[in-house]
Amino acid sequence: MLAKFIERNFKTIHEINLKYSKPRLVVSRPVRICLLILRCYLLFLVLLLLYKFITVLTA
């Protein structure tokens, strides 16, 4: 179902992706570093949640 939707609307999706492919805002270096730290923290939390889920499931 999703594949058929994508096939039918591929051109529209491609145009939207081209429109938003480049960011309009200029982000400073400290902001980029902060965002990278937040991404790493989010990844850590997801991995921790996955670990907890697996340990509870196998116990």
Q: Is residue 36 part of a domain?
A: yes
Q: Is residue 17 part of a domain?
A: no
Q: Is residue 11 part of a domain?
A: no
Helix, strand or coil, per DSSP, at residue 23: coil
14-50 confidence digits (pLDDT tens): 889 999 888 888 889 999 999 999 999 999 999 999 9
Q: Is residue 46 part of a domain?
A: yes
Give the C-alpha distances (Å, rounded to integers) separating 17 from 3, 5, 38, 43, 58. Answer: 17, 16, 25, 25, 42
Q: Is residue 44 part of a domain?
A: yes
Rounded distance between C-alpha atoms, residue 43 and residue 40, angstroms: 5
Q: Yes or no: say if 6 and 13 are a contact pair by the CB < 8 Å rule.
A: yes
Q: Is residue 4 part of a domain?
A: no
What pTM was computed for the model?
A: 0.58
Which is more confidently placed, 40 or 59? 40
Rounded distance between C-alpha atoms, residue 47 and residue 51, angstroms: 6
Tell me how many domains the chain contains.
1
Q: Is residue 57 part of a domain?
A: yes
